[in-house]
Structure 1
Amino acid sequence: MVRALSAAPAAWHADPYTDALRSGRGPLFLRRPDGWLLPLEVERWCAEPDLADRTVLRRCRGAVLDIGCGPGRLVAALAAEGIAALGVDVSPEAVRRTRDWGGSALCRSVFDRLPGEGRWDTALLVDGNVGIGGDPAALLARVAQLVVPGGLLLAETAPYEIDERIRVRVADASGAAGGDFPWARLGTNALLSCARPLGWRPAGRWTAAGRPFVALRRR
């Protein structure tokens, strides 16, 4: 299953996403085939960490792997504090911006081979990244391979209860869009239900600035 999900979605190389990261602003959306749109918070991703982000950063322990790091605000903030951190993202532009901010990043899928597998103390899945690959169970199983026994996963969940598997495209306001790819959205209860059978135990939950988060500990 891991290898089946290893190819980086070409959609994140598409011009709408790359252009938004280069400019540091949207609007940008995930668009479902029925026309439903989920706004993507490009401006927030390209800014300094906000108060909600800081609640995540304060909970990081040891070496940190930021999965789907985007333009790298969290990786750069950790690096500025002298904390070992690595971002991984399938977008070359996201990786470039992360490095420009002083963070370390690799252009790679989480399902590809990564440095330090099994030795990361903390993993991050923020900004909706629990949806990567459209299969949360496969993603959580992969993260369990990456962290140390007893390692920590800090994940952001949807701000309402949902458990959805969908296919989406990255689109801008003009209608330009990349190719479609699988994605998922999970509320807190759905994430906890998915995580427990995979050897993750709840270690905390909190909300900051309307954004809900969960801490999970690998058994």
Structure 2
Amino acid sequence: MTSALVVYAGALHRAAGGGDPGLHLTDPAGRLLRRLDTAAWHAEPTRGDRALLSRCTGATLDIGCGPGRLVAELTRRRVPALGIDVSPTAVRLARSRGANALVHDVFTPLPGRLPFMHTLLVDGNIGIGGDPVRLLGRCRDLLAAGGTVLAEVDPPGTRGWRATVALTDHLRTSDPFAWAAVSADEIAPLSAQVGLRQTDSWTEDGRWFTCLAR
């Protein structure tokens, strides 16, 4: 087995070079849970991304920023923004496109950088840690009064899940780690458990998003 960070870094490098990243999320039996569009994370923001970012009117934290397309776009818009990711490779790539980014785990303190007006959970990152309620609670703690969590969720009518998963590319499968998914139907009651209130939801380019206010 190989560290998930190693498999992830390899896919990021291949995508950055124009190759096929071939990155999949699988269950312990090797069954495909979803294909990860690593190449899109290197591309310019899509219409769906831009609609999301238009709601960022103050200091914004992108949790699991990857190669930094959203933080770089916010910087171009003169919105203060910070990306964090546990992958040093992702952070290096984010910085190379002008994003302010740190190697950091969202569940550890960010001294001197609080509070934020917005936190972003995009590209499936609501699954970080395998416990959406814990993650949303951490996001709430990072927000100023009146701040919002802007999250991408699965389509309505689908079922969320919490599971042990692995990253798989053309050659390797990573060590198992905890991950989760949340649908548009499920996000409101989950967020209410940690003092967040759903104020809006919308769809753009076949993706679903929600706004949760502190």
TM norm structure 1:
0.90
Do residues 147 (structure 1) and 115 (structure 2) align? no
User: Gapped runs of 5+ residues in structure 1?
Assistant: 1-9
Match of 1:85 among 81, 84, 102: 81
In 2 relative to 1, CA 82–194 (structure 1 residues): closer, same or farther, beyond 3 Å? Answer: same
Do residues 60 (structure 1) and 56 (structure 2) align? yes
Q: 152-161 vs 103-112, which deviates more?
A: 152-161
- The Cα of 1:115 is off from its aligned counterpart by 4.1
User: Gapped runs of 5+ residues in structure 2?
Assistant: none
In structure 1, how many angstroms separate the alpha carbons of the residues matched to 2:3 and 2:127?
Answer: 14
Identity of aligned residues (%): 43
Aligned residues of 1:12 and 1:91 also touching (Cα < 8 A): no
In structure 1, how many angstroms separate the alpha carbons of the residues matched to 2:184 and 2:112?
Answer: 28
Aligned residues of 1:137 and 1:194 also touching (Cα < 8 A): yes
Residue pairs, 1:19-98, within 5 angstroms: 19-24=10-15, 25-37=20-32, 38-98=34-94
- Aligned counterpart, 1:171: 168
- The Cα of 1:214 is off from its aligned counterpart by 0.2
In structure 2, how many angstroms separate the alpha carbons of the residues matched to 1:23 and 1:33?
Answer: 25
Equivalent residue of 2:193, what SS? helix
Q: 98-107 vs 190-199, which deviates more?
A: 190-199
- Aligned counterpart, 1:17: 8
Equivalent residue of 2:39, what SS? helix
- The Cα of 1:35 is off from its aligned counterpart by 2.0
CA deviations over 1:153-208 (Å, ceiling 9, x no partner): 1000012421211111111033x022110000110121111001211111110001
TM norm structure 2:
0.92
Aligned residues of 1:11 and 1:170 also touching (Cα < 8 A): no
- Aligned counterpart, 2:185: 189
Q: Which runs of 4+ in 1 moved over 6 A?
A: none
In structure 1, how many angstroms separate the alpha carbons of the residues matched to 2:59 and 2:82?
Answer: 8
Aligned residues of 2:159 and 2:182 also touching (Cα < 8 A): yes
In structure 2, how many angstroms separate the alpha carbons of the residues matched to 1:184 and 1:73?
Answer: 23
Aligned residues of 2:56 and 2:79 also touching (Cα < 8 A): no
In structure 2, how many angstroms separate the alpha carbons of the residues matched to 1:105 and 1:12?
Answer: 20
Equivalent residue of 1:103, what SS? coil
Do residues 128 (structure 1) and 120 (structure 2) align? no
Do residues 105 (structure 1) and 96 (structure 2) align? no
Q: 30-39 vs 140-149, which deviates more?
A: 30-39
Equivalent residue of 1:188, what SS? coil
Aligned residues of 1:163 and 1:186 also touching (Cα < 8 A): yes
Aligned residues of 2:148 and 2:212 also touching (Cα < 8 A): yes
Q: 199-208 vs 115-124, which deviates more?
A: 115-124
In structure 1, how many angstroms separate the alpha carbons of the residues matched to 2:107 and 2:61?
Answer: 13
Equivalent residue of 1:60, what SS? coil
